Amino acid sequence: MAQSLGFFASCPKGLESLLFDELKSLGADSVKETVAGVYFTGPIELAYRCCLWSRLANRVLMPLAVEPCSQASDMYRAVKAINWLDHFALDGTFAIDFSGKLRDINHSHFGALKAKDAIADYFTEQFGRRPNVDTDRPDLRVNVRVSKGKVTVSLDLSGDSLHKRGYRVEGGLAPLKENLAAAILLRADWPGIAARGGALIDPLCGSGSLLIEGALMAANIAPGLLRLRWGFDGWKQHKSDYWASLLSEAEAIAQDARSRQLPEIRGYDASPRAVAIAEQNIDSAGLTGIVRILRKDLSDFVRPTHAPINQGLVVCNPPYGERLGEASSLIHLYRHLGQRLKQQFSGWQAAVFTGNPDLGKQMGIKICKQYQLFNGPIASKLLCFDISPEYYVHGEGAPIEPQQSQQLSDGAQMFANRLRKNQKQLAKWVKQSGNSCYRVYDADMPEYAVAVDRYGDWVHVAEYAPPATVDAVKAEKRLQEVIAAIPQALSVSPEQIVLKQRRKQKGPNQYQKHKSEGKFIEVEEGQAKLLLNLTDYLDTGLFLDHRPVRLKIAELAKGKRFLNLFCYTATASVQAAMGGASWTDSVDLSPTYLAWAKKNLAANGLSETRHRMIQADCREWIQQQLETSDIRYQLILLDPPTFSNSKKMEGTLDIQRDHVELLRDTMRLLTPDGLLIFSNNQRKFKLDSQLDEEFAVEDKTAWSLDKDFQRAKTIHQCWFVRHR
């Protein structure tokens, strides 16, 4: 009977119970969990099998000595007392991994040096010389661990950590370790799903770790089959014949697996670099043709249609703010992921691994199970979902009940009557257009100088500042009448009415916050989801009067490069992207607006790989592009402010004074067959006639005003400009 030895398999925290089950399945005896590892017993052949087949362990250690230890001299004696000549030759090399602390050792480097001296002295006393240290490729790696008054000296049979399978060519920005990826798949029941013929899809696959591990699992390919070096290679007692037999067996299993029909395994990523890295890793793993990767934004993520796949697992490790992104933007990425799952993958399972579980709660699907895991030092969770309507979470609050009638003053009643009349006139258009955001009232009655906009269930009221000749007390009374009338006239809750006073802004004030609630609501416009903030800023993030222009851009953008100058929150860029633009560049000087624009991208599953946000003075950026870049655009939106003197820009921008030069320069960025849409909101603006002589200019102002803005025909002006 083969000698039974003791071993310790280390693993990341949170994987202990999974590793326990795995070692039992490989034939281990006396299996016992502890923090970050599992003890077990068996013959040396079992340790070899665990090195080759464990998907979860970091290292397999074989203890040589366990001795009491309270100080460095105790550790030195314990290490030196081992008969090292039984394990490696004088001409061999070794390395020490040390962990723990003693009263006279508080640094791992010093602990490793002390252990190295013990082994060196063992050989020097017998042979007059010592073996060399090689920290990169030693013949033998020795693990020394001090804990709870004891020192454990072990041989590291694995060598490098077992998570290094040997297929990774390049990791990408923040790759999952392979054994953590395997643990995620096991917790999500991928082996069971694969056995039932289900598919595996990762919509944010990065370098492909989850997909590759999923394929190795489904095919029953040994995870260590590609590794070229092992910790026991230079061990004197290595049983090379048994190891060769074990490898041969594993290679035969792998060869058979690659010839069989395996489950559909697919991945997508918006980054061309990530896709290239993933494809290299897949090829290196010998899984070309089994695992398929495409470059695709989350906005294009759908269930595969080339084969009848009715069940499967959608698994991903999205960014979660700690390492890769801004958490406030990522809220909308997670919401969009949840919407995609509900729209496309009903009946499937989903597993999302995140270091920010609160983001997972944004997905709108009830979490069925969750597991605590660690991604390096980051405490993380695996959130598991059943994608079924019974688990969908709908909205944040109850439906709004119509307000009970209450007595209004004569003025408030008059205002309510006008709101009802306007709403009735717009009702047919609202239903046909599908618009949930539109203007109901815009100072129709001079004494009530407000703009009233509907944003779904919310109402935004912007008061125009009354002239100095209007009595302040009367102005305040009329505003109170407006607020009293709206709930009854428009059937909304008073809590969902937001009031702001609109004043002419100068310089940096146009970017100042009014409040700091940071709450965004999501609305739909055409194919796009757009994020609005009704409370914090003067404007909401969406200029309703430019709706036809944005929708036209979506219609024209397919396959084109789109440039959005003075982009604000980049709503037009989102429309272009959703319309199929090959590339969008959005330029604005305000970091606040660009951060908001990134949230809009995330809400639609779009990445910045093809949709760039550029913080710059637009006029300076145009000149730089003309001087340094050959890139030209087939579609451009130029929508500058009337006036700007931001402290971040040199000089001032006056659109009436500067528009000829600005248009001429921008037209130089337009392809010969391209279209530039020029608009501005200066009510008395006059387009210089010389531009008509240089370019084909078409006045589109009347066309650009939807039914809700036809009462205020001077709110903006719009032209289509082309090269002659």
Per DSSP, the residues of 236-264 read: TT--HHHHHHHHHHHHHHHHHHHTS----
The answer on pLDDT for 282 being more than 80 is: yes
* All structural domains of the chain: 5-156 (3.30.2130.30), 178-223+260-391 (3.40.50.150), 397-503 (3.30.750.80), 519-724 (3.40.50.150)
The pLDDT value recorded for residue 325 is 40
Distance separating alpha carbons of residues 189 and 181, to the nearest angstrom: 13
Q: Choose between 663 and 512: higher pLDDT.
A: 663
The pLDDT value recorded for residue 278 is 95
The answer on pLDDT for 213 being more than 80 is: yes
Distance separating alpha carbons of residues 412 and 403, to the nearest angstrom: 15
Residue type, 646: S
Select from 241, 216, 211 the least CA-distant residue to 227.
216
Q: Choose between 329 and 699: higher pLDDT.
A: 699
The answer on pLDDT for 503 being more than 60 is: no
Largest Cα–Cα separation, the chain? 109
Contacts of 473 (CB under 8 A, 6+ apart): none
The pLDDT value recorded for residue 193 is 96
Contacts of 204 (CB under 8 A, 6+ apart): 268, 269, 298, 316, 317, 318
pLDDT category at 406 given cuts 50, 70, 90 is low
Phi-psi region of 277 (alpha: psi -120 to 50; beta: other; left: phi over 0): alpha
Tell how far CA 105 is from the center of its chain. 42
The answer on pLDDT for 20 being more than 50 is: yes
Give the three-state DSSP class for 18.
helix
The average pLDDT across 73-82 equals 97
pLDDT category at 403 given cuts 50, 70, 90 is very low
Distance separating alpha carbons of residues 154 and 344, to the nearest angstrom: 51
Taking only the tens place, the pLDDT of each residue in 218-272 is 999 999 999 999 999 999 999 999 999 999 999 999 999 888 889 999 999 999 9
How many Cβ atoms sit within 10 Å of the Cβ of residue 112?
20
248-257: long-range contacts, CB 8 A cutoff, minimum separation 24: 250/52, 250/53, 250/221, 250/222, 250/225, 251/225, 253/220, 253/221, 253/222, 254/219, 254/221, 254/222, 254/225, 254/286, 257/219, 257/220, 257/221
Least confident of 508-517, 530-539, 596-605, 666-675: 508-517
pTM confidence score: 0.75
The average pLDDT across 51-56 equals 98
Select from 180, 179, 161, 173 the least CA-distant residue to 277.
173
The average pLDDT across 696-704 equals 96
The answer on pLDDT for 22 being more than 50 is: yes
High-pLDDT (> 90) share of the chain, %: 77
Q: Choose between 155 and 457: higher pLDDT.
A: 155
Taking only the tens place, the pLDDT of each residue in 520-551 is 899 999 999 999 999 888 889 999 999 999 99
Residue type, 30: S
The pLDDT value recorded for residue 474 is 83
- Residue 8's beta-bridge partner residues? 39, 61
The answer on pLDDT for 599 being more than 80 is: yes
The average pLDDT across 450-475 equals 85
Phi-psi region of 36 (alpha: psi -120 to 50; beta: other; left: phi over 0): left
The pLDDT value recorded for residue 621 is 97
Taking only the tens place, the pLDDT of each residue in 308-352 is 678 999 999 998 764 334 566 687 889 899 999 999 999 999 999
Q: Choose between 289 and 510: higher pLDDT.
A: 289
